[in-house]
Amino acid sequence: MYLLRSSLSRNLHKFMAVPAFLLFSVFFLYPLLRGIGLSLTDWDGISSANFIGLKNFINFFKDERALNDVKNTVFFALGSAPLLNIVGLVYALMLDGNLKGRGIARAIIYLPAIISPLIMGYIWYFILQPERGYFFHILKNMNLEHLMGNWMAYYKSAMWMLIIVNVWQYAGMTMIVYLAGLQSIPLELYEVGKIDGAGYFSRLYYITLPLLIPSIRINIVTNIIGSLSVFDIIMALTEGGPGYSTESLSIYIMRMCYGSKTGYSTAVALVLFFIILIPVVLSLRIMNSREVERI
């Protein structure tokens, strides 16, 4: 009996992932499988679903609006993901270590990410609205209003405004992960570096960055996923407009889902999944080859 019990307790560690997996299966995997089934049908959300094979996917590649959305989404991600990482890292480096009031500073920088996107939408638009926003009025008081045109009127300016707002709002999250990573690097390593005569940037490049790879990996993956599935920021600022010019794929999926093309929307969601999968797998491969294990 003792042997059985001790054998169980000795092997318990192998089962530690089971509870998590169980929960996940019921509330995610099972609905997911049913959802994937939907992508092969022409379900409109109300009447019965008819099997139509891969027709949804074929239609997707013929759909001009959908392909345009892919372009928008990729543009957004290419601008957003790298910026989020760089800015977040810079913030974390600045706020790491001993500095009075760093807690408050971290809180302030993180604040925009805390406020729900719903409310932020109102606020951002209120601040940035062309010709009527808070920012415009401040410029006007300084007689600089011509600096700000109607950014919504042009594709490039609208997209960049969205990217900037996204970085502004979420750099705090990236920063948090980097802080967690930074603070687990032992101080002694820096001491050794200093004794050897390494300057700040050398220490950064040779000591910090390699040991920060877990955090970099996490941030790159999350930022890629987050940027490619962007919904709230765009919805809040432009609603995908004017027209559909800044619509992201996630917004398109939602609109199709409730616009009686539910089966089709599920298929597009799967396409989005593949669009996300590729860069994520690539970055993970690159990261894993550079990983350093440490004490």
Interacting residue with other proteins among 153, 192, 282, 286 (CB under 8 A): 153
Residue 56 makes contact with other proteins by CB under 8 A: no
Residue 291 makes contact with other proteins by CB under 8 A: yes
Retrieve residue 282's tokens. 């690539």
Do residues 129 and 145 lie in contact, with contact meaning Cβ atoms separated by under 8 Å? no
Cα-Cα-Cα-Cα dihedral sign, residues 14, 16, 17, 21: positive
Site pattern 1..20 for other proteins (x: CB under 8 A)? ----xx-xxx-xxxxxx-xx
Residues in the chain: 295
Residue 150 makes contact with other proteins by CB under 8 A: yes
Distance CA(247)–CA(102), nearest Å, equals 38
Interacting residue with other proteins among 125, 145, 157, 209 (CB under 8 A): 125
Q: Tell me whether residue 79 or residue 172 sits nearer to other proteins (CB atom).
A: 172
Do residues 76 and 226 lie in contact, with contact meaning Cβ atoms separated by under 8 Å? no
Retrieve residue 5's tokens. 């019990």
Q: 51: helix, coil or strand?
A: strand
Q: Tell me whether residue 147 or residue 295 sits nearer to other proteins (CB atom).
A: 295
Distance CA(253)–CA(90), nearest Å, equals 35
The H or E element that residue 122 is part of is helix 117-128
Interacting residue with other proteins among 51, 61, 126, 205 (CB under 8 A): 126
Site pattern 232..251 for other proteins (x: CB under 8 A)? -------xxxxxxx----x-
Residue 57 makes contact with other proteins by CB under 8 A: no
Residue 262 makes contact with other proteins by CB under 8 A: yes
Residue 53: what are its φ and ψ, rounded to 5°?
Answer: 65, -135
Residue 86 makes contact with other proteins by CB under 8 A: no
Residue 137 makes contact with other proteins by CB under 8 A: yes
Residue 195 makes contact with other proteins by CB under 8 A: no
Residue 258: CB minimum distance to other proteins, A: 4
Distance CA(30)–CA(28), nearest Å, equals 6
Question: Which candidate, 208, 222, 224, 217, places its Cα nearest to that of 90?
Answer: 208
Interacting residue with other proteins among 41, 91, 220, 263 (CB under 8 A): 91
Kindly tell me the burial class for residue 293, based on how many C-beta atoms sit within 10 Å of its own C-beta (0-12, 13-18, 19 or more). exposed
Interacting residue with other proteins among 163, 182, 220, 233 (CB under 8 A): 182
Could you tell me which stretch among 50-58, 75-83, 191-199, 212-220 binds other proteins (CB under 8 A)? 212-220
Residue 114 makes contact with other proteins by CB under 8 A: yes
Residue 199 makes contact with other proteins by CB under 8 A: no
Retrieve residue 164's tokens. 């900037």
Residue 192 makes contact with other proteins by CB under 8 A: no
Residue 47 makes contact with other proteins by CB under 8 A: yes
Question: Which candidate, 276, 268, 227, places its Cα nearest to that of 66?
Answer: 268
Could you tell me which stretch among 50-58, 66-74, 77-85, 276-284 binds other proteins (CB under 8 A)? 276-284
Residue 82: CB minimum distance to other proteins, A: 18
Cα-Cα-Cα-Cα dihedral sign, residues 33, 39, 43, 46: positive
Q: Which residues pair with 51 in a beta bridge?
A: 41
Residue 123: CB minimum distance to other proteins, A: 5
Residue 198: CB minimum distance to other proteins, A: 14
